[in-house]
Amino acid sequence: MLPSEKPQSPPVNWPAAITLWGTLIAALILVPAYAWFHDFSAVAWASFVILAGLNGISITAGYHRLWAHQTYKAHPVVRFVLLVFGTMAVQNSVFAWASGHRRHHRHVDNVDNDPYSAKRGFWFSHMGWMVRDYPSNIEDFSNIPDLVTDPMLQFQHRHYAALALGINFGVPFLLGYLAGDLWGVVLLGGLARLVWSHHTTFFINSLAHIWGRRPYTDENTARDNDILAFFTYGEGYHNYHHIFQFDYRNGIRWYQFDPTKWLIRGLSFVGLTTDLKRVPEFRIEKARLLMQFKYAERKLDTKGQPCSVRIAEMKAQVAREYENFTLALQEWARVKEEQFNAAKVALEGSEKMKAYRAQLAAIEAALKAQRKRLQVMLDSMTQQPAY
């Protein structure tokens, strides 16, 4: 390429560009105009809230945690409902969505292979990657062999455009007609709901890789963010998700807002979801402790010379804690191996197995106590940006 030549941009993906820009511009103009001249009924607002919720939870519980990551299994009725309202969210077929998302996890932050790499900026990761045919976004279903044989998903993929258009026009028009507020429901429950569903999902690709804390890993840009979790049905705990992507939970603590987790768990009580995958607590504590050691070392390395004696003491304390951590990992591995060997000789339920479980529980408790000690140490240092 000659020095005066500019690199050519990929061709515009016109269907995506028209859908995303067209619905956004139309919503910004038509919704305020209608509110000014006519006002919206309670039914119209209810249609927005209910349909937006159904769309959002169908993307998070269906497209994302069920199909893209296979974190649980669902009854055909549940799968059908999630597929219908996931299609209504207009985020492509499950095949295309799940395939791209698996590439994102495999190549996260790689500017060439991650379809919506945050390293290419907010705009690209939020929406720009869809409005042009970038090489990283070319459809390749070789990474979803578990999905391509599903007849329900095959039907959706073959007829996606017709289904998406039919549901998005049919449902709001029908609800509006029955409620006696046709255009109010169409504008709020149809147009505004679609724009809201789009951008709350897109924020996970963009803001959740820019804004928040990283308590589990700093190997990628994903962040945990409680505010985003509130608007994205629990998806905002993205740092956890990127290190433990096969857990059906994103918010693992009882107080963390994750309605998708609550739905999946709730349906399991009546047999509509099964095989819910959870990461062992030991692995979670291990990840959190490793990050705390990293943050402690970074904070100590930023201190100045006037406190060099105190810094040396702290570094020695961190080194001792890390040695204890290493010993705990070694002990955990030893006990787990003995427990596994004991299970092979049918000792499940015996006193010996109970003793192994007690040992493992004690090691987990020790790691939690160590994490609290490290947190106290971090809090005692000069304040740095929160993680």
Whether residues 25 and 153 share a domain: the answer is yes
Whether residues 218 and 241 share a domain: the answer is yes
Cβ 119 vs Cβ 111: under 8 Å: yes
Listed in sequence order, the residues at least 6 apart from 383 whose beta carbon sits closer than 8 Å to its beta carbon are none
Does residue 22 lie within any of the structural domains?
yes
Whether residues 316 and 225 share a domain: the answer is no
Whether residues 161 and 285 share a domain: the answer is no
Q: How many domains does the chain have?
A: 2
Domain boundary among 274, 299, 321: 274
Full residue range of the structural domain in which residue 178 is found: 14-274
Cβ 98 vs Cβ 71: under 8 Å: no
Which pLDDT value is given to residue 344? 58
Whether residues 265 and 240 share a domain: the answer is yes
CB atoms within 10 A of CB 373: 14
Whether residues 288 and 230 share a domain: the answer is no
Residues of the chain predicted below pLDDT 70: 1-7, 300, 302-353, 356, 370-371, 373-387
Per-residue pLDDT tens digits for 275-324: 999 998 878 888 887 887 777 777 767 655 455 555 556 566 666 666 66
Does residue 209 lie within any of the structural domains?
yes
45 φ/ψ sector (left φ>0, alpha ψ -120 to 50, else beta): alpha
245: phi then psi, degrees, rounded to nearest 5: -70, -15
Does residue 386 lie within any of the structural domains?
no
Which pLDDT value is given to residue 324? 67
Does residue 226 lie within any of the structural domains?
yes
> CA separation (Å) from 354 to 86, 318, 343, 347, 350?
45, 33, 11, 10, 6
Whether residues 269 and 334 share a domain: the answer is no
